[in-house]
Structure 1
Amino acid sequence: MTSFCLEVSGPFACFTRPEMKVERVSYDVMTPSAARSIFESVLWKPAIRWRVHRIEVLKPFRWINLRRNEVSAVVSTRNVQQAMAAGSGTLGLYIEDERQQRAGYFLRDVAYRIHADLSLAPGGTEPLMKYTEMFTRRASKGQCVNQPYLGCREFAAAFSLVTADTPPATPIGETRELGWMLHDLDFTRPSDPQPRFFNAKLDKGVVQVPPFEEARG
Protein backbone atom coordinates (compact mmCIF):
# COMPACT_ATOMS: atom_id res chain seq x y z
CA MET A 1 0.00 0.00 0.00
CA THR A 2 1.30 3.45 -0.98
CA SER A 3 -0.07 6.84 0.11
CA PHE A 4 -0.43 9.86 -2.16
CA CYS A 5 -1.64 13.42 -1.68
CA LEU A 6 -3.19 15.71 -4.28
CA GLU A 7 -3.96 19.38 -3.89
CA VAL A 8 -7.16 20.28 -5.75
CA SER A 9 -8.92 23.60 -6.20
CA GLY A 10 -11.59 25.32 -8.23
CA PRO A 11 -13.91 28.33 -8.38
CA PHE A 12 -17.05 26.26 -7.61
CA ALA A 13 -17.94 22.91 -6.07
CA CYS A 14 -21.09 20.95 -5.28
CA PHE A 15 -20.95 17.70 -3.33
CA THR A 16 -24.68 17.09 -3.41
CA ARG A 17 -26.55 15.99 -0.31
CA PRO A 18 -28.72 13.00 -1.30
CA GLU A 19 -31.55 14.04 1.04
CA MET A 20 -32.21 17.15 -1.10
CA LYS A 21 -34.60 15.83 -3.72
CA VAL A 22 -35.27 18.89 -5.88
CA GLU A 23 -32.59 21.54 -5.51
CA ARG A 24 -28.89 20.83 -5.25
CA VAL A 25 -27.32 21.65 -1.89
CA SER A 26 -23.67 20.87 -1.25
CA TYR A 27 -22.07 19.26 1.76
CA ASP A 28 -19.74 21.63 3.57
CA VAL A 29 -16.71 19.50 2.67
CA MET A 30 -15.71 17.29 -0.23
CA THR A 31 -17.01 13.74 0.16
CA PRO A 32 -14.67 10.72 0.12
CA SER A 33 -16.31 9.43 -3.06
CA ALA A 34 -15.64 12.76 -4.82
CA ALA A 35 -12.03 12.64 -3.65
CA ARG A 36 -11.68 9.06 -4.87
CA SER A 37 -12.97 10.02 -8.31
CA ILE A 38 -10.21 12.64 -8.62
CA PHE A 39 -7.52 10.04 -7.98
CA GLU A 40 -9.22 7.71 -10.47
CA SER A 41 -9.33 10.47 -13.08
CA VAL A 42 -5.52 10.50 -12.96
CA LEU A 43 -5.08 6.71 -12.90
CA TRP A 44 -7.68 3.98 -12.94
CA LYS A 45 -7.12 0.31 -13.67
CA PRO A 46 -9.22 -2.74 -12.73
CA ALA A 47 -6.18 -4.06 -10.85
CA ILE A 48 -5.98 -1.19 -8.31
CA ARG A 49 -8.08 0.39 -5.58
CA TRP A 50 -8.02 3.86 -4.02
CA ARG A 51 -8.99 4.48 -0.37
CA VAL A 52 -9.31 8.08 0.77
CA HIS A 53 -8.38 8.49 4.45
CA ARG A 54 -7.88 12.24 5.00
CA ILE A 55 -9.33 15.47 3.56
CA GLU A 56 -7.79 18.83 4.48
CA VAL A 57 -9.80 22.05 3.92
CA LEU A 58 -7.40 24.83 2.90
CA LYS A 59 -9.78 27.76 2.37
CA PRO A 60 -12.60 29.19 4.52
CA PHE A 61 -16.14 28.20 3.59
CA ARG A 62 -17.82 30.47 1.06
CA TRP A 63 -21.23 29.87 -0.49
CA ILE A 64 -23.16 31.02 -3.54
CA ASN A 65 -26.73 30.59 -4.81
CA LEU A 66 -26.91 29.75 -8.52
CA ARG A 67 -29.75 28.90 -10.88
CA ARG A 68 -28.73 26.64 -13.76
CA ASN A 69 -30.27 25.04 -16.82
CA GLU A 70 -30.32 21.26 -16.58
CA VAL A 71 -31.74 18.43 -18.67
CA SER A 72 -34.63 16.65 -16.97
CA ALA A 73 -34.41 13.33 -18.85
CA VAL A 74 -31.91 10.70 -19.96
CA VAL A 75 -31.92 8.31 -22.88
CA SER A 76 -33.79 5.18 -21.77
CA THR A 77 -32.04 1.83 -21.53
CA ARG A 78 -34.83 0.27 -23.58
CA ASN A 79 -34.20 2.66 -26.50
CA VAL A 80 -30.48 1.88 -26.38
CA GLN A 81 -31.15 -1.86 -26.42
CA GLN A 82 -33.54 -1.51 -29.36
CA ALA A 83 -31.02 0.58 -31.29
CA MET A 84 -28.28 -1.98 -30.62
CA ALA A 85 -30.51 -4.82 -31.79
CA ALA A 86 -31.62 -2.97 -34.93
CA GLY A 87 -28.20 -1.51 -35.74
CA SER A 88 -29.59 2.03 -35.83
CA GLY A 89 -31.90 4.30 -33.92
CA THR A 90 -32.51 7.78 -32.57
CA LEU A 91 -30.91 8.25 -29.18
CA GLY A 92 -30.69 12.02 -29.02
CA LEU A 93 -32.42 14.32 -26.55
CA TYR A 94 -33.90 17.65 -27.60
CA ILE A 95 -32.62 20.07 -25.02
CA GLU A 96 -35.34 22.63 -25.67
CA ASP A 97 -37.99 20.06 -24.78
CA GLU A 98 -36.21 18.69 -21.70
CA ARG A 99 -34.67 21.84 -20.21
CA GLN A 100 -35.49 22.85 -16.66
CA GLN A 101 -34.08 25.40 -14.25
CA ARG A 102 -32.84 24.28 -10.85
CA ALA A 103 -31.49 26.38 -8.03
CA GLY A 104 -28.36 25.29 -6.17
CA TYR A 105 -26.45 26.22 -3.04
CA PHE A 106 -22.81 25.68 -3.93
CA LEU A 107 -19.37 26.15 -2.44
CA ARG A 108 -17.10 28.70 -4.09
CA ASP A 109 -13.33 29.26 -4.20
CA VAL A 110 -12.41 25.89 -2.69
CA ALA A 111 -9.07 24.16 -2.12
CA TYR A 112 -8.29 20.80 -0.50
CA ARG A 113 -5.48 18.40 0.07
CA ILE A 114 -6.77 14.87 -0.27
CA HIS A 115 -4.85 11.81 0.92
CA ALA A 116 -5.45 8.28 -0.37
CA ASP A 117 -3.83 4.86 -0.26
CA LEU A 118 -3.15 2.94 -3.45
CA SER A 119 -3.39 -0.84 -3.22
CA LEU A 120 -3.92 -3.83 -5.46
CA ALA A 121 -7.41 -5.20 -5.97
CA PRO A 122 -8.12 -8.69 -4.60
CA GLY A 123 -6.44 -11.22 -6.85
CA GLY A 124 -4.03 -8.68 -8.32
CA THR A 125 -0.73 -10.21 -9.38
CA GLU A 126 1.24 -7.32 -10.88
CA PRO A 127 3.67 -5.39 -8.65
CA LEU A 128 2.19 -2.35 -6.88
CA MET A 129 5.33 -0.38 -7.76
CA LYS A 130 4.26 -0.41 -11.41
CA TYR A 131 1.09 1.56 -10.63
CA THR A 132 2.85 3.74 -8.06
CA GLU A 133 5.28 4.92 -10.71
CA MET A 134 2.51 5.39 -13.27
CA PHE A 135 0.48 7.57 -10.94
CA THR A 136 3.49 9.63 -9.83
CA ARG A 137 4.51 10.28 -13.43
CA ARG A 138 1.02 11.19 -14.59
CA ALA A 139 0.15 13.38 -11.59
CA SER A 140 3.50 15.20 -11.79
CA LYS A 141 2.82 16.11 -15.42
CA GLY A 142 -0.84 17.02 -14.85
CA GLN A 143 -2.04 14.14 -17.03
CA CYS A 144 -5.46 12.57 -16.49
CA VAL A 145 -7.82 10.06 -18.07
CA ASN A 146 -10.66 12.57 -17.82
CA GLN A 147 -10.96 16.08 -16.40
CA PRO A 148 -11.23 15.94 -12.58
CA TYR A 149 -14.24 17.78 -11.19
CA LEU A 150 -15.56 18.98 -7.85
CA GLY A 151 -18.84 17.15 -7.46
CA CYS A 152 -20.46 18.27 -10.74
CA ARG A 153 -18.75 17.79 -14.08
CA GLU A 154 -19.06 21.47 -15.00
CA PHE A 155 -17.03 22.39 -11.90
CA ALA A 156 -13.57 21.47 -13.19
CA ALA A 157 -10.76 21.00 -10.69
CA ALA A 158 -7.11 21.94 -10.98
CA PHE A 159 -4.80 19.39 -9.33
CA SER A 160 -1.16 18.93 -8.46
CA LEU A 161 0.84 16.19 -6.77
CA VAL A 162 2.00 17.00 -3.25
CA THR A 163 5.54 15.75 -2.59
CA ALA A 164 8.20 16.27 0.04
CA ASP A 165 9.37 19.34 -1.90
CA THR A 166 5.92 20.95 -2.03
CA PRO A 167 5.51 23.98 0.25
CA PRO A 168 3.35 23.13 3.28
CA ALA A 169 -0.28 24.22 3.44
CA THR A 170 -2.15 24.94 6.66
CA PRO A 171 -5.78 23.76 6.94
CA ILE A 172 -8.34 26.19 8.28
CA GLY A 173 -8.61 26.20 12.06
CA GLU A 174 -12.33 25.40 12.27
CA THR A 175 -13.64 22.47 14.31
CA ARG A 176 -17.27 21.32 14.24
CA GLU A 177 -19.58 18.38 13.60
CA LEU A 178 -20.56 17.88 9.95
CA GLY A 179 -23.21 15.23 10.53
CA TRP A 180 -23.78 12.16 8.40
CA MET A 181 -21.88 12.36 5.13
CA LEU A 182 -21.87 10.09 2.09
CA HIS A 183 -18.82 7.84 2.16
CA ASP A 184 -19.30 5.90 -1.07
CA LEU A 185 -21.56 3.43 -2.81
CA ASP A 186 -21.57 -0.25 -1.94
CA PHE A 187 -21.42 -2.27 -5.17
CA THR A 188 -21.85 -5.67 -3.54
CA ARG A 189 -24.94 -5.93 -5.74
CA PRO A 190 -23.92 -4.14 -8.97
CA SER A 191 -27.51 -3.85 -10.15
CA ASP A 192 -28.55 -2.09 -6.94
CA PRO A 193 -25.67 -0.09 -5.40
CA GLN A 194 -26.40 1.23 -1.91
CA PRO A 195 -25.06 4.43 -0.30
CA ARG A 196 -22.96 4.16 2.86
CA PHE A 197 -22.54 7.05 5.32
CA PHE A 198 -20.22 8.04 8.17
CA ASN A 199 -20.47 10.60 10.96
CA ALA A 200 -18.06 13.29 9.76
CA LYS A 201 -16.23 15.79 11.94
CA LEU A 202 -14.08 18.73 10.95
CA ASP A 203 -11.13 18.89 13.38
CA LYS A 204 -8.96 21.98 12.84
CA GLY A 205 -9.79 21.86 9.14
CA VAL A 206 -9.24 18.12 8.71
CA VAL A 207 -11.74 15.31 8.11
CA GLN A 208 -10.48 11.83 8.98
CA VAL A 209 -12.23 9.27 6.78
CA PRO A 210 -12.86 5.85 8.37
CA PRO A 211 -12.50 2.62 6.36
CA PHE A 212 -15.44 1.91 4.08
CA GLU A 213 -16.23 -1.22 6.10
CA GLU A 214 -17.10 0.98 9.09
CA ALA A 215 -19.58 3.13 7.15
CA ARG A 216 -23.32 2.57 7.63
CA GLY A 217 -26.05 1.98 5.10
Structure 2
Amino acid sequence: MGFGIKLKVWGDYACFTRPEMKVERVSYDVITPSAARGILEAIHWKPAIRWVVDRIHVLNPIIFENIRRNEVESKASPRKEAIYAAEERQQRASMVLRNVAYIIEAHFEMTDRQGAEDSPEKHYNIFLRRARQGQCFHRPYFGTREFPVSFELIEDSEALPESPLQGTTDLGYMLYDQDFRLNDKGEVQEITPYFFRAQMVDGRISIPGPLEVFR
Protein backbone atom coordinates (compact mmCIF):
# COMPACT_ATOMS: atom_id res chain seq x y z
CA MET A 1 0.00 0.00 0.00
CA GLY A 2 1.19 3.53 -0.82
CA PHE A 3 1.06 6.71 1.23
CA GLY A 4 -2.38 7.19 2.81
CA ILE A 5 -4.40 10.39 3.23
CA LYS A 6 -7.69 11.45 4.83
CA LEU A 7 -9.71 14.23 3.24
CA LYS A 8 -12.95 15.76 4.49
CA VAL A 9 -15.29 16.87 1.71
CA TRP A 10 -18.69 18.54 1.98
CA GLY A 11 -21.26 20.51 0.01
CA ASP A 12 -24.87 21.65 -0.19
CA TYR A 13 -25.94 19.16 -2.88
CA ALA A 14 -24.66 16.04 -4.63
CA CYS A 15 -25.82 13.70 -7.36
CA PHE A 16 -24.00 10.41 -7.91
CA THR A 17 -26.20 9.19 -10.74
CA ARG A 18 -27.29 5.58 -10.90
CA PRO A 19 -26.41 4.28 -14.40
CA GLU A 20 -29.65 2.29 -14.66
CA MET A 21 -31.66 5.53 -14.65
CA LYS A 22 -31.73 6.60 -18.30
CA VAL A 23 -33.85 9.77 -18.31
CA GLU A 24 -34.19 11.31 -14.86
CA ARG A 25 -31.14 11.50 -12.60
CA VAL A 26 -31.39 9.54 -9.36
CA SER A 27 -28.45 9.63 -6.97
CA TYR A 28 -26.92 6.78 -5.03
CA ASP A 29 -27.32 7.13 -1.27
CA VAL A 30 -23.65 8.05 -0.83
CA ILE A 31 -20.62 9.08 -2.86
CA THR A 32 -19.22 6.41 -5.18
CA PRO A 33 -15.54 5.37 -5.18
CA SER A 34 -15.06 6.79 -8.68
CA ALA A 35 -16.48 10.17 -7.63
CA ALA A 36 -14.22 10.16 -4.56
CA ARG A 37 -11.22 9.38 -6.75
CA GLY A 38 -12.17 12.25 -9.05
CA ILE A 39 -12.02 14.67 -6.12
CA LEU A 40 -8.51 13.49 -5.21
CA GLU A 41 -7.36 13.79 -8.81
CA ALA A 42 -8.69 17.35 -8.96
CA ILE A 43 -6.30 18.24 -6.13
CA HIS A 44 -3.25 16.34 -7.38
CA TRP A 45 -2.77 13.81 -10.14
CA LYS A 46 0.06 12.85 -12.45
CA PRO A 47 0.50 9.86 -14.80
CA ALA A 48 3.02 8.50 -12.29
CA ILE A 49 0.38 7.86 -9.61
CA ARG A 50 -2.97 6.07 -9.34
CA TRP A 51 -5.41 6.88 -6.52
CA VAL A 52 -7.13 4.01 -4.69
CA VAL A 53 -10.06 4.73 -2.36
CA ASP A 54 -9.99 2.53 0.78
CA ARG A 55 -12.87 3.76 2.95
CA ILE A 56 -15.63 6.34 2.91
CA HIS A 57 -17.08 7.81 6.11
CA VAL A 58 -20.58 9.29 5.86
CA LEU A 59 -20.77 12.20 8.30
CA ASN A 60 -24.33 13.50 7.74
CA PRO A 61 -27.75 11.84 7.60
CA ILE A 62 -28.77 10.78 4.08
CA ILE A 63 -31.36 13.27 2.82
CA PHE A 64 -32.86 13.18 -0.68
CA GLU A 65 -34.47 16.15 -2.40
CA ASN A 66 -36.33 16.32 -5.71
CA ILE A 67 -35.28 19.28 -7.85
CA ARG A 68 -35.73 20.33 -11.48
CA ARG A 69 -32.69 21.26 -13.56
CA ASN A 70 -32.08 22.56 -17.06
CA GLU A 71 -29.96 20.22 -19.17
CA VAL A 72 -29.03 20.04 -22.85
CA GLU A 73 -30.03 17.06 -24.94
CA SER A 74 -26.65 16.26 -26.54
CA LYS A 75 -22.96 16.28 -25.65
CA ALA A 76 -20.04 18.04 -27.29
CA SER A 77 -17.87 15.79 -29.49
CA PRO A 78 -15.36 16.10 -32.35
CA ARG A 79 -18.31 15.76 -34.74
CA LYS A 80 -20.40 18.33 -32.85
CA GLU A 81 -18.16 21.04 -31.50
CA ALA A 82 -20.90 23.56 -30.71
CA ILE A 83 -24.03 23.15 -28.59
CA TYR A 84 -26.77 25.78 -28.68
CA ALA A 85 -28.35 25.59 -25.24
CA ALA A 86 -31.41 27.62 -26.20
CA GLU A 87 -32.29 25.06 -28.88
CA GLU A 88 -31.50 21.88 -26.90
CA ARG A 89 -32.51 22.86 -23.37
CA GLN A 90 -34.63 20.32 -21.51
CA GLN A 91 -36.00 20.51 -17.99
CA ARG A 92 -35.63 17.26 -16.06
CA ALA A 93 -36.31 16.14 -12.54
CA SER A 94 -33.41 14.94 -10.41
CA MET A 95 -33.38 13.10 -7.09
CA VAL A 96 -30.28 14.52 -5.41
CA LEU A 97 -28.64 14.45 -1.98
CA ARG A 98 -28.72 17.50 0.28
CA ASN A 99 -26.18 18.64 2.89
CA VAL A 100 -23.55 15.96 2.32
CA ALA A 101 -20.23 15.46 4.12
CA TYR A 102 -17.75 12.60 3.84
CA ILE A 103 -14.25 11.62 4.80
CA ILE A 104 -12.30 9.91 2.02
CA GLU A 105 -9.55 7.55 3.12
CA ALA A 106 -7.29 6.69 0.21
CA HIS A 107 -3.76 5.95 -0.89
CA PHE A 108 -1.91 6.17 -4.18
CA GLU A 109 0.26 3.67 -5.98
CA MET A 110 3.04 4.34 -8.43
CA THR A 111 2.37 3.37 -12.04
CA ASP A 112 4.64 2.17 -14.82
CA ARG A 113 4.56 5.73 -16.22
CA GLN A 114 6.71 7.14 -13.42
CA GLY A 115 9.91 8.88 -14.35
CA ALA A 116 13.30 9.15 -12.68
CA GLU A 117 12.18 12.30 -10.86
CA ASP A 118 9.04 10.65 -9.42
CA SER A 119 8.96 9.19 -5.93
CA PRO A 120 6.14 8.37 -3.47
CA GLU A 121 7.45 10.96 -1.00
CA LYS A 122 7.39 13.69 -3.64
CA HIS A 123 3.78 13.14 -4.67
CA TYR A 124 2.62 12.59 -1.09
CA ASN A 125 4.08 15.92 0.01
CA ILE A 126 2.65 17.70 -3.04
CA PHE A 127 -0.83 16.45 -2.22
CA LEU A 128 -0.50 17.43 1.46
CA ARG A 129 0.63 20.94 0.55
CA ARG A 130 -2.11 21.49 -2.01
CA ALA A 131 -4.86 20.08 0.23
CA ARG A 132 -3.75 22.22 3.18
CA GLN A 133 -3.79 25.34 1.04
CA GLY A 134 -7.09 24.54 -0.68
CA GLN A 135 -5.43 24.27 -4.11
CA CYS A 136 -6.79 22.18 -6.97
CA PHE A 137 -6.31 21.88 -10.73
CA HIS A 138 -10.06 22.37 -11.16
CA ARG A 139 -12.86 22.77 -8.65
CA PRO A 140 -13.97 19.27 -7.61
CA TYR A 141 -17.67 18.53 -7.68
CA PHE A 142 -20.18 16.05 -6.32
CA GLY A 143 -21.34 14.25 -9.46
CA THR A 144 -22.20 17.32 -11.57
CA ARG A 145 -20.36 20.61 -11.92
CA GLU A 146 -23.11 22.72 -10.36
CA PHE A 147 -22.53 20.93 -7.02
CA PRO A 148 -19.03 22.11 -5.98
CA VAL A 149 -16.98 20.45 -3.25
CA SER A 150 -15.33 22.11 -0.26
CA PHE A 151 -12.43 20.15 1.22
CA GLU A 152 -9.85 20.12 3.96
CA LEU A 153 -7.05 17.76 4.89
CA ILE A 154 -7.38 15.72 8.08
CA GLU A 155 -3.98 15.46 9.70
CA ASP A 156 -2.72 12.18 11.15
CA SER A 157 -2.96 13.62 14.67
CA GLU A 158 -6.66 14.48 14.29
CA ALA A 159 -9.39 12.12 15.47
CA LEU A 160 -12.05 11.25 12.92
CA PRO A 161 -15.52 12.61 13.73
CA GLU A 162 -18.16 10.05 14.66
CA SER A 163 -20.93 9.41 12.18
CA PRO A 164 -24.57 9.77 13.30
CA LEU A 165 -25.40 6.72 11.20
CA GLN A 166 -25.10 3.69 13.44
CA GLY A 167 -25.78 0.06 12.63
CA THR A 168 -25.43 -1.85 9.37
CA THR A 169 -27.10 -0.70 6.14
CA ASP A 170 -27.07 -2.62 2.86
CA LEU A 171 -26.75 0.00 0.10
CA GLY A 172 -27.13 -2.55 -2.68
CA TYR A 173 -24.99 -2.71 -5.79
CA MET A 174 -22.98 0.45 -6.39
CA LEU A 175 -20.83 1.64 -9.26
CA TYR A 176 -17.16 1.04 -8.46
CA ASP A 177 -15.52 2.49 -11.56
CA GLN A 178 -15.57 2.45 -15.35
CA ASP A 179 -12.93 1.16 -17.75
CA PHE A 180 -12.60 3.24 -20.91
CA ARG A 181 -11.14 1.49 -23.94
CA LEU A 182 -9.90 3.72 -26.75
CA ASN A 183 -9.53 3.02 -30.46
CA ASP A 184 -6.53 3.93 -32.61
CA LYS A 185 -7.81 7.51 -32.93
CA GLY A 186 -7.96 8.00 -29.17
CA GLU A 187 -11.76 7.94 -29.11
CA VAL A 188 -13.75 6.01 -26.52
CA GLN A 189 -14.74 2.74 -28.15
CA GLU A 190 -16.12 0.79 -25.19
CA ILE A 191 -17.04 1.58 -21.59
CA THR A 192 -17.11 -1.27 -19.07
CA PRO A 193 -18.71 -0.50 -15.68
CA TYR A 194 -17.68 -2.37 -12.53
CA PHE A 195 -19.86 -2.75 -9.43
CA PHE A 196 -19.60 -3.91 -5.82
CA ARG A 197 -22.02 -4.66 -3.00
CA ALA A 198 -21.83 -1.69 -0.64
CA GLN A 199 -22.30 -2.22 3.10
CA MET A 200 -22.28 0.74 5.49
CA VAL A 201 -21.35 -0.12 9.08
CA ASP A 202 -21.66 2.71 11.61
CA GLY A 203 -21.37 5.22 8.78
CA ARG A 204 -18.27 3.65 7.24
CA ILE A 205 -18.03 1.90 3.87
CA SER A 206 -15.00 -0.28 3.12
CA ILE A 207 -14.15 -0.26 -0.59
CA PRO A 208 -13.04 -3.62 -2.05
CA GLY A 209 -9.95 -4.06 -4.18
CA PRO A 210 -10.16 -4.25 -7.98
CA LEU A 211 -10.11 -8.07 -7.91
CA GLU A 212 -13.26 -8.17 -5.74
CA VAL A 213 -15.59 -6.23 -8.07
CA PHE A 214 -17.68 -7.45 -10.98
CA ARG A 215 -19.25 -6.13 -14.14
Q: Is the 8 A contact 1:184 1:212 kept in 2?
A: no
Work out whether residues 47 and 114 of structure 2, in 8 Å CA contact, stay in contact via their aligned partners in 1: no
Once the two structures are superposed, the pairs formed by residues 97-176 of structure 1 within 5 Å of their partners are 97-125=87-115, 126-171=118-163, 172-176=165-169
Q: What CA distance in whole angstroms lies between the structure 2 residues aligned with 1:115 and 1:210?
A: 13
SS at match of 2:57: strand
Other-structure match for 2:198: 200
Which residue of the partner structure matches residue 170 of structure 2?
Answer: 177
Q: Give the C-alpha shift of residue 174 in structure 1.
A: 4.1
- Structure having the higher helix fraction is 1
**Which amino acid letter does the alignment assign opposite residue 212 of structure 1?**
P
Local SS of the residue matching 1:34: helix
Cα RMSD between the aligned structures? Answer: 1.4
Indicate the structure with greater strand content.
2
Alignment of 1:1-217 (within 5 A): 1-79=2-80, 91-125=81-115, 126-171=118-163, 172-187=165-180, 191-217=189-215
Q: Distance in 1 between matches of 2:189 and 2:44?
A: 25
Report the 3-state secondary structure (helix = DSSP H, G, I; strand = E; otherwise coil) of the residue aligned with 2:125. helix
Query: What's the CA shift for 1:188?
Result: 5.5
TM-score norm. by structure 2 comes to: 0.91
The CA deviation at 1:175 is 1.9
In the TM superposition, what whole-angstrom CA distance separates every residue of 1:120-168 from its partner, at most 9, and x where no partner exists? 1125342111101100100010000000111111100100001134353
- Report runs of 4+ in structure 1 exceeding 6 Å deviation: none
Which residue number in structure 2 is paired with residue 85 of structure 1? Answer: none
Query: Which has the higher mean CA deviation after the structures are superposed, 157-166 or 110-119?
Result: 157-166
Please give the secondary structure, in 2, of the residue aligned with 1:137: helix
Q: What secondary structure is seen at the aligned counterpart in 1 of 2:74?
A: coil
| One-letter code aligned to 2:103 | R
Letter in 2 for 1:66: I
State TM-score, norm by structure 1: 0.90
* Higher Cα Rg, which structure: 1
Greater shift, 173-182 or 102-111, is seen at: 173-182
Identify unmatched segments of 5+ residues in structure 2.
183-187
Residue identity over aligned pairs, in percent, reads: 46
SS of the equivalent of 1:135 reads: helix
Matched to 1:193, the amino acid is I
Q: Measure, in 1, the Cα distance between the counterparts of 2:191 and 2:103.
A: 28
Secondary structure of the 1:191 match is strand
Unmatched segments (≥5 aa) in structure 1: 80-90
Q: Give CA deviations for 1:36-71 in whole Å, capped at 9, x if unaligned.
A: 000000001011000001000000111110001001
The number of residues matched between the two structures is: 206
